[in-house]
Amino acid sequence: MAIEEMVQQARIAMDKISGYDQAQVDEMLYVISKAVFEQAEPLAKLAIEETRLGRLDHKIGKNQGMATNIFASLKNKPSVGVIREIPEEGLIEIAHPRGVIGSVTPTTNPTITPLGNGLMALKGRNAMIVSPHPRSKKTTKETIELMREALVSIGAPRDLLQVIEEPSIELSQELMRSVDLIVATGGPGLVKSAYSSGHPAYGVGPGNVQAILDRDYDVEIAAELSVIGRSFDNGIVCACQQSLFYPEEKEVELFEQLKDKKAALFTEEEDLAKLRDVLFIEGKANPEMIGQDPQRIAEAAGLSIPADSEIIAVKVDAVGKKELFCKEKMAPVLALKSYDTFEQAVAFARENLLWEGSGHSAGLFSNSKEHRIYAGEVLPVSRVVVNQPTIDAGGSPANGLNPTVSLGCGSWGNNIISENLNYTHLINISRVAMPIAPKHDGEPWN
């Protein structure tokens, strides 16, 4: 089906739900979320078979987690008709759809990206057309078909959600030129194309999440959270932890705890050189190693690690452009670097972020409010995730960030938002303004 025809079908479907009330809208979200939750394992298996990226157990959890967390965050939120009244300001806010949303999705998240963006689009009574990555088109097509059938089960039009079955760069670009708003999840080139389409666009920036262990925090817990944050889906999630800076006097304790949490540790330059040669080709990520198990990476480097290793950890002596391990590694490999003062640790993290990953996220293991604020003031990131796995930057029931599959990186990352994408970004709001008593007397200078 041609893009023009898909857009036309989407507009017809939108017209059919234009009279839906809030309960009917939320019912669409409910049946879709339940459908994906119940098919989380088959969809995860299909993604592994098709893309050869990541871990099956984590993909199942990821599919289930996003289905529950995003639905829970959207449930009972107003998105139809009058959504807020502010009597003291004389304002009434009324929600309207943005229109047909174009969602360009990555090979790393072929189910949760269309799911998350689709839930947020439908929350505002929009339609969505997905352009999947060619390497994951089967999984994304199956996901969208499952969501479409869920819509039909409650009498909603299936064409509220559509997918390009044979995607290409050319069709993605045509889609972006044809829709009303774009959500682009992918590399800088894709995001630039979205911003150049002539339509409003939300993009994401690359991740390179740096984390700091403060002197006052429990080393064992930090080691456990770091392994979780680095190992998740074999490191292909943009919010995965990339580095850990630790107090130099805690090195022995930290390394022992990391080993206990199933990190295979390398400290000799000879071994690090072998791993660099495998993970990077001319300074860029080796596509053959992206999302692979740590055992396969070690074997490719001619190294041996325990069969139950969750990640590979490497001790580095430099930061920024002097050390390739300080880049984003879409693999379960964690860089470790000691520091003297907390300010030095933040400076190390900042240098890595300015090389790659500005605007995304950072992690901090600390009980000091002063240090938490200092990190937030100095680091060029949109989120500082404290005492949690950094993957929770994408939103969690245990923090105040809204669950999302699109993490804005602000102007640091050449994005329009520096927050997690939410359904409010996918609605237009009319503000009815009534007269109120003047807020000042015309002389505010006094």
Parse the chain into domains and list their residue ranges: 3-204+417-432, 210-394
The mean per-residue pLDDT over the stretch 371-382 comes to: 98
pLDDT tens for each residue of 210-233: 999 999 999 999 999 999 999 999
pLDDT tens-digit series, residues 35-49: 999 999 999 999 999
What pLDDT, in 10s, does the model give residues 158-188? 999 999 999 999 999 999 999 999 999 877 7
CA 282/CA 120 separation, integer angstroms: 39
Segment 75-95 shows an average pLDDT of 97
Two tokens, residue 142:
């199956």
Read off the pLDDT of each residue in 22-35 and give the average, rounded to a whole number: 98
pLDDT in tens, 324-366: 999 999 999 999 999 999 999 999 999 999 999 999 999 999 9
pLDDT value for 205 = 82
Distance of CA 170 to the CA centre of its chain: 25
Mean local confidence (pLDDT), 82-99: 98
Q: How confident is the model at residue 442 (pLDDT cuts 50, 70, 90)?
A: confident
User: Among all residues, which ones are annotated catalytic?
Assistant: 238
| pLDDT at residue 187, rounded to an integer | 78
Average pLDDT over residues 117-121: 98
Angle at 97 between CA 94 and CA 103, to 5 degrees: 145
Task: Look at residues 314, 270, 279, 312 and name the one whose alpha carbon lies nearest to residue 295.
Answer: 312
> How far is it, in rounded angstroms, from Cα 278 to Cα 284?
11
Contact 91, 433 (CB under 8 A): yes
Instruction: Enter the DSSP assignment of 422.
Output: -
**Paired sense of beta strands 161-163 and 381-386, if any:** unpaired
pLDDT confidence of residue 181: 97
How much of the chain, in percent, has pLDDT values that exceed 70?
Answer: 100
pLDDT at 195: 87
Q: Average pLDDT in the 258-266 region?
A: 98
Contact 191, 414 (CB under 8 A): yes
Q: What is the DSSP string of 235-270?
A: GTSTTSEEEEEEEGGGHHHHHHHHHHTTEEEE--HH
Mean pLDDT value across residues 278-284: 95
Residue 441 has pLDDT above 90, yes or no: no
The per-residue pLDDT for 196 is: 87
Q: Could you say which DSSP state residue 310 is in? A: -
pLDDT of 52 reads: 96
What is the identity of the amino acid at 35? A
- Residue 149 is predicted with a pLDDT of 98
Q: Among 176-180, 252-256, 286-290, 437-441, which stretch is predicted with the lowest mean pLDDT?
A: 437-441
User: What would be the CATH architecture of the domain defined by 210-394?
Assistant: 3-Layer(aba) Sandwich (3.40)
pLDDT of residue 351: 98
* CB-based contact 263:312 (threshold 8 Å): yes
Q: What is the rounded CA–CA span in Å between residue 350 and residue 112?
A: 30
Mean pLDDT of the chain: 97
- What is the pLDDT confidence band of residue 1, given thresholds at 50, 70 and 90? confident
pLDDT at residue 62 in the model: 97
Structure-token match 């003031």, residue found = 377
CA distance 164 to 313: 40
Of the given ranges (188-202, 349-363, 371-385), which has the lowest mean pLDDT? 188-202
Beta-carbon contacts of residue 129 (< 8 Å; ≥ 6 apart):
3, 6, 7, 10, 100, 101, 102, 103, 162, 163, 164, 175, 179
Unique residue bearing structure tokens 């670009």: 173
Q: Residue with structure tokens 């893309």? A: 51
Contacts of 236 (CB under 8 A, 6+ apart): 53, 54, 108, 290, 291, 330, 331
What is the per-residue pLDDT for 56? 98
Mean pLDDT of 132-151: 97
Q: What is the mean pLDDT of residues 297-326?
A: 98
Taking the CA atoms of residue 144, residue 146, residue 147 and residue 151 in that order, the dihedral angle to the nearest 10 degrees is: 130
pLDDT at 391: 98
Q: What percent of the chain has pLDDT over 90?
A: 94
Torsion of Cα atoms, 220 then 221 then 222 then 223, to 10°: 50
Q: Which helix (H) or strand (E) holds 96?
A: strand 91-97
CATH architecture type of domain 3-204+417-432: 3-Layer(aba) Sandwich (3.40)
Calculate mean pLDDT across residues 129-151. Answer: 97
Helix (H, G, I), strand (E, B) or coil at 381: strand
Contact between residue 274 and residue 301 where contact means Cβ atoms under 8 Å apart: yes
Q: Residues, the chain, total?
A: 446
Model pLDDT, residue 275: 98
